[in-house]
């Protein structure tokens, strides 16, 4: 494990050895989780690909707000005046861009995101088109704002964030319950314990801010246009029994991508699978990912070239992508 301070916030990450001639895989976790849940996939993929996993700002081990002390081991990208105060997907994409720049990852990159991490990956692809060559979303989709459902979700989420006593982890069998939450087949109790710790330890400001900033009507409605305008291939894994991100919502978002409209199936539905496909079926997901990465999927978006597809006007949707105010390399403090 290594640590870097990005805009005053410590980010913990793990980077496997480089592999020649293949893209780097960057793994982005979801809300109230951490990079730990990618480890089964990384164990299977790291012999073939360099893998980077990291904890989002405020989650996992990226929790303490530091003033970037000189004695901290690692590096510092401190620009206090540009510290993000938002927890939108675009703001998290800014953190990711700085992390990749610091690690000098300049070759081909594929972003792999789970749930909220999938949305962040899509934003990262939009803002770093020269670097990001493709996106794989796991249990991620959406783009439809159902007012009553989102209000219930936000209300329940706020209640969860505000009621997370530290003694919760000492309740007998609590890990047993967490190992069964949001999945079709129960996970090993090890993962239940990990989920309890990540649930309790998430920074309250980040946990609540992410919930509220990422689920607004405006943010949800940006997703279809965002996906429609991406020039990179995007693939989606959907859990057949996912009650958090139902397959129909994954299909809905995937349908805006040029692969789908070109007749290429970019949705992989996993039978008897809940909201944690990378833990429930790591072998299947790894095998499918390798297949995607080795088939050289097309990176041309015909919707952006009317001459290729003049009848396709689905991307004629306005989308004002916020500019990422990245710190220039010569302004970094190392």
Provide the CATH topology of domain 2-145+222-331: Rossmann fold (3.40.50)
Q: Please state the domain extents for the chain.
A: 2-145+222-331
Question: Is pLDDT at 297 greater than 70 in this prediction?
Answer: no
Residue 177's pLDDT band (boundaries 50, 70, 90)?
very high
Tens digits of per-residue pLDDT, 234-269? 999 999 999 999 999 999 999 999 999 999 999 999
**What pLDDT is stored for residue 143 in this prediction?**
93
pLDDT mean over 126-155:
94
Q: What is the Cα Rg of the chain in Å?
A: 19
User: Looking at the predicted structure, is the pLDDT value of residue 324 above 60?
Assistant: no
Q: Distance between CA 40 and CA 112 in Å, rounded?
A: 14
What is the Cα–Cα distance from 225 to 256, expressed in whole angstroms?
A: 8
pLDDT-derived band at 63 (thresholds 50, 70, 90) equals: confident
Residue 8: per-residue pLDDT? 87
Question: Tokens standing for 163?
Answer: 């009621």
Dist. CA 211–CA 194, nearest whole Å: 20
Cα 156 from chain centroid (whole Å)? 22
pLDDT at 66: 35
| Burial class of residue 145 (count of CB atoms within 10 Å of its CB; 0-12, 13-18, 19+) | middle
Q: Is 100 in contact with 15 (CB distance < 8 Å)?
A: no
Phi/psi for 213 (5° steps) reads: -75, -30
Mean pLDDT of 283-295: 96
List alpha helices for 103-240, DSSP H.
116-127, 147-162, 174-178, 189-201, 204-214, 217-229
CA distances from residue 49 to 28, 163, 228, 286 in whole angstroms, order as listed: 16, 40, 28, 11
* Mean pLDDT on 277-294: 97
Contact 206, 220 (CB under 8 A): no
The set of residues, in sequence order, having a beta carbon less than 8 Å from that of 74 and lying 6+ positions away, is 2, 3, 4, 5, 10
Question: Is 31:116 a contact under the CB 8 Å cutoff?
Answer: yes
Q: Per mean pLDDT, which range of 68-72, 313-317, 323-327 is the poorest?
A: 68-72
> Residue 76: pLDDT above 70?
no
Give pLDDT, residue 298: 61
Residue with tokens 């396709």: 312
pLDDT recorded at residue 84? 45
Report pLDDT for 206. Answer: 95
Residue with tokens 């965002």: 226
Confirm whether pTM is higher than 0.75: yes
Decide the pairing of beta strands 51-54 and 9-15.
antiparallel
Is 301 a residue whose pLDDT tops 90?
no
């Amino acid at each position: 494990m290594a640590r870097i301070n990005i805009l005053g916030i410590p980010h913990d990450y793990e980077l496997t050895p480089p592999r020649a001639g293949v893209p780097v895989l960057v793994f982005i976790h979801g809300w109230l989780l951490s990079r730990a849940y990618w480890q089964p996939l990384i164990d299977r993929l790291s012999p073939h690909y360099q893998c980077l996993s990291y904890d989002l700002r405020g989650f996992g081990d990226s929790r303490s707000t530091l003033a970037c002390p000189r004695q901290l081991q690692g590096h510092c990208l401190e620009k206090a005046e540009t510290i993000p105060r938002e927890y939108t997907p675009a703001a998290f994409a800014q953190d990711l861009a700085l992390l990749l720049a610091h690690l000098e990852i300049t070759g081909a990159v594929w972003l792999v995101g789970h749930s909220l991490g999938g949305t962040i990956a899509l934003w990262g692809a939009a803002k770093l088109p020269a670097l990001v060559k493709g996106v794989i979303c796991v249990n991620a989709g959406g783009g439809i704002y159902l007012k009553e459902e989102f209000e219930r979700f936000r209300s329940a989420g706020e209640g969860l964030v505000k009621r997370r006593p530290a003694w919760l982890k000492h309740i007998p069998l609590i890990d047993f319950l967490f190992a069964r939450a949001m999945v079709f087949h129960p996970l090993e109790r090890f993962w239940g314990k990990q989920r309890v710790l990540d649930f309790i330890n998430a920074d309250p400001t980040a946990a609540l801010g992410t919930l509220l900033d990422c689920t607004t009507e405006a943010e949800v409605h940006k997703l279809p246009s965002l996906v429609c305008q991406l020039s990179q291939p995007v693939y989606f894994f959907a859990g057949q029994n996912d009650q958090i991100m139902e397959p129909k919502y994954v299909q809905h978002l995937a349908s805006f991508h040029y692969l789908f409209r070109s007749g290429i199936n970019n949705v992989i539905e996993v039978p008897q699978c809940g909201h944690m496909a990378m833990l429930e079926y790591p072998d299947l997901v790894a095998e499918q990912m390798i297949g995607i990465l080795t088939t050289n999927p097309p990176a041309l978006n015909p919707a952006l070239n009317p001459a290729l597809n003049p009848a396709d006007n689905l991307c004629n949707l306005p989308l004002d992508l916020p500019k990422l105010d990245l710190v220039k390399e010569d302004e970094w403090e190392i």
